[in-house]
Chain A
């Protein structure tokens, strides 16, 4: 079979904020750029980011990038790499002003400056008074950013492969990544996209959990591709459970509700966050709030007939304010629950929201792997950015408003490094046919007919195993059982079949390949969580309740080969300022 082959300087897999920001930088830098996306670009999950983007503009309250840096490191429970965090916080105002020039309609102050909102975990003067650092375009910042970036990319003539599914990376024997094998969803035809550089920007893997806030497309495709190419995944045990998902549905109720004065109550009508975080109360960091809710429910103070959630109360804000400032939240609650928050509080429970872990990169977006004694050796030609990557700026816990910042800063930084790389690597390397054939084999594997389990029940089972064995509370016993169950599932998935073998828009085949990706990401998450015998940030172990800096101030690296774990040091040295040494996190 003659394969269609296309050649580009740079290939971006994923068309969310990170991918589009990188693509724009590259197209404007005169590189020939292709973006591959399994859904139409503006249907990427960035569109769902409601909150905003953090930058120390000091438009509302005094602020500095250094305070932002401190908050991010503290928020990360000291697992974030301080050089990358400094880089991000310093770059933040610049990327926000760039967005403004790209056409993002930020909410304004009366004087015309960009309005900034207070979010959890933000402080002035290194942990003192509340700061206001989040720039927002009403409650649809992600939407505004994604659409502006997409339009800018059209203007810059970025080439889009819309509705193409990336199967696997192409890698030669010297270790260079040379593009991807994909297929067109419309025709089912495979295509080889050769590129001198490849950036993975496929977002997170929230769909590994049954209750989550992510769109159905967040199946960790890029993370799994990296694993199969021999790249370990970093810090996958750190999964952020957003404290306020709509109970039983998964959708997120933005932190903005608590920012505007909403608070959490238990079945005894108690504002229980006052006990857990006396100063910050309901605006404490997300992991603190998530754990508090889970404890309330575990200790029998949950609400509802199954006592399995708590309530988010905003009745005291009044109808006018709710309708003016939080109209979207009210509609959501009424549509999905039949509850009007003006009259009744909203049932909420922690829901999987964000993967702090991902493909290990340095602050230039280069994917880095341990080679002999070097913990961070760049993989030539391979980059990652956004939620798919682990730079690591979020460490063990991400602060609200820092994920949009992450995708913009490191999408841009990766593109800048790619432009440099392209100067020294002007020609395409020979295509390794073996690597291409291997990817095609992954595609043709689903042509298999005969007996075998169906994909959808296996997917449901996988997500249930993750929820039951790797949720907010974790013990060795529960997780070991989870690993065993996942291993059995992995075998069953290897023998699964699909009934539809058509070529045109064969969604069954896509879902099957997504399931394989989910499986690899789930195993990475469970094994990493089992390995880390401490509680830090979003990773909370019942059997190891304390943070243990002596043994565990290090990054986890899960490798697909034998499900093995390795570790590498945290970069505690910033670029230009003094290091922030680990301290107990109190809000």
Chain B
């Protein structure tokens, strides 16, 4: 199992609570199942500005980066499995 390093964890600190929640949730529930290619794609995703990052994860924007495209449903799934309020 590969845990995210602290550098990656810090770069999941974003300007928007939505991204903090989505990425933070994924770090704890899903990141450990990524292979090296997936982890590299995650680093590329973190390089995006906050609004674009959220757009990608919410499916508002498509991406030609197939690695990131594969990540999106995993990130969404990590959040979607939380119970309703």
Contact = CB atoms under 8 A, between A and B. Distances in A.
A485 B21 CA distance: 28
Given A309-B85, A347-B85, A185 B60 contact: no
Nearest to B11: A40
B17 A213 contact: yes
B20 A215 contact: yes
B58 A42 contact: no
A48 B50 contact: yes
Interface in B25-77: 49-51, 57-60, 76
Given A338-B80, A505-B10, A506-B6, A332 B18 contact: yes
Residue among B14, B24, B76 with the most chain A CB within 10 A? B14
Interface in A39-84: 39-40, 42-48
A467 interface: no
A249 interface: yes
A215 B6 contact: no
Contacts of B20: 215-216
A251 B18 contact: yes
A143 interface: yes
B13 A505 contact: no
A215 B10 contact: no
A44 B15 contact: yes
A434 B57 CA distance: 49
Interface bracket on B:
20 to 34
Contacts of A39: 10, 13-15
Contacts of A215: 13-17, 19-20
A108 B7 CA distance: 41
Contacts of B79: 335-336
A471 interface: no
A321 interface: no
Contacts of A347: 85
B85 A143 contact: no
Contacts of A46: 15
Contacts of B76: 335
B85 A47 contact: no
B85 A249 contact: yes
A4 B12 CA distance: 28
B54 to A, nearest CB: 8
Contact of A48 (B6, B16, B22, B80): B16
Contacts of A249: 21, 85
Interface in A285-339: 304, 308-309, 327-328, 331-332, 335-338
Nearest to A327: B60
A337 B13 contact: no
A264 B79 CA distance: 26
A452 B79 CA distance: 32
A247 B83 CA distance: 12
B79 to A, nearest CB: 7
A248 interface: yes
A327 B58 CA distance: 11
A47 B50 contact: yes
Nearest to B76: A335
B10 A185 contact: yes
A279 interface: no
A43 B84 contact: no
A146 B16 CA distance: 13
Contact of B58 (A48, A214, A331, A510): A331
A163 interface: yes
Given A147-B49, A215-B16, 14 more contacts: A39-B13, A43-B14, A143-B50, A186-B7, A213-B17, A214-B17, A215-B17, A216-B20, A249-B21, A249-B85, A309-B85, A328-B60, A331-B60, A335-B79
8 contacts: A43-B15, A47-B15, A147-B49, A215-B20, A308-B85, A332-B58, A500-B6, A507-B9
Sorted nearest first, the 10 A-B pairs with minimum C-beta distance are A248-B85, A47-B15, A505-B6, A48-B16, A331-B58, A505-B7, A247-B85, A143-B51, A43-B15, A216-B20
